[in-house]
Amino acid sequence: MNLQEALSLHDKGVVSLVGAGGKSSLMYSLARELVAAGKSVLTTTTTKIFMPSSAESAVTILSKIPEEIVEKAESLLGEYSHLTVGSEHLQIHDKLNGLEPSVIEHILHADLFDFIIIEADGADRKPLKACAPHEPVVPLFSDCIVALVGLDVVAKPLTEEWVFRPTIFSRITGLKLMQSVTESAIASLMLHDMSSITETGRRSTKIAFLNKADNLKALEAGERIAAFLQKRGRGIFHRVVIGELRAEPVIQQCRIVQ
């Protein structure tokens, strides 16, 4: 099973990635897979991401003006099937500043790309994140929202080393600071944060992606989280994916939530 199948993507769509523990890896891996399948892809962010390497994205457009972005994209798509767009390059941290959702929507209506993949959350490279009230910045026109967690956080202490905003995580889950992060607490956080995302009348497909299942212990932890989400996530998550995002992504399991 490839990523497109695991995420239940069809011929076109807008995919927003939230959470922690592999958003950029998923974004560029999915872009490569879709391009290989003959699709045109835009990758971007509503927050900040590191500037993509040439292996991740051959061309990056820098502009805040939607009409200018569309014009540049039209001129490049004959040669490149995957483009990245951001408003500016923040050279001090080598980061790409994101676009407002209204700008991404303008690009969407230009109908240049089969898929737009948006990194819609920041987590300071931690494997787990608890969202502040203003997060994540998910466009209302998203067709698919993928919430990621890095399974290497299981059994680690609830500290800033492992969890982005551990105090918020503690408040949501009841787990005390310095206690070991449990599978049930991770599931509770994912349900809380995903249920808080605003939607329009067009309902998005919501997927939990449990990443870094690169050994039996991590896979078993992923299975326990998946079981929690299947039991308690009806009406919130549509499926749970357990896998590894590496050079060649591996999907270990894909469960439907009913």
The ranges assigned to domains in the chain are 1-22+124-258, 40-113
**Nearest in space to 43 (alpha carbons), one of 30, 55, 54:** 30
* Better-predicted residue by pLDDT, 201 or 243: 243
Residues 6+ apart with CB under 8 A from 27: 17, 43, 117, 119
Q: What is the mean pLDDT of the chain?
A: 92
pLDDT digits (tens, 9 = 90+) for 145-165: 999 999 999 999 999 999 999
Closest CA to 85 of 38, 140, 42: 42
d(CA 120, CA 168): 19
Prediction pTM value:
0.94
pLDDT at 232: 85
Q: 41 pLDDT band (50/70/90 cuts)?
A: very high
Per-residue pLDDT at 218: 95
Angle at 132 between CA 97 and CA 86, to 5 degrees: 10
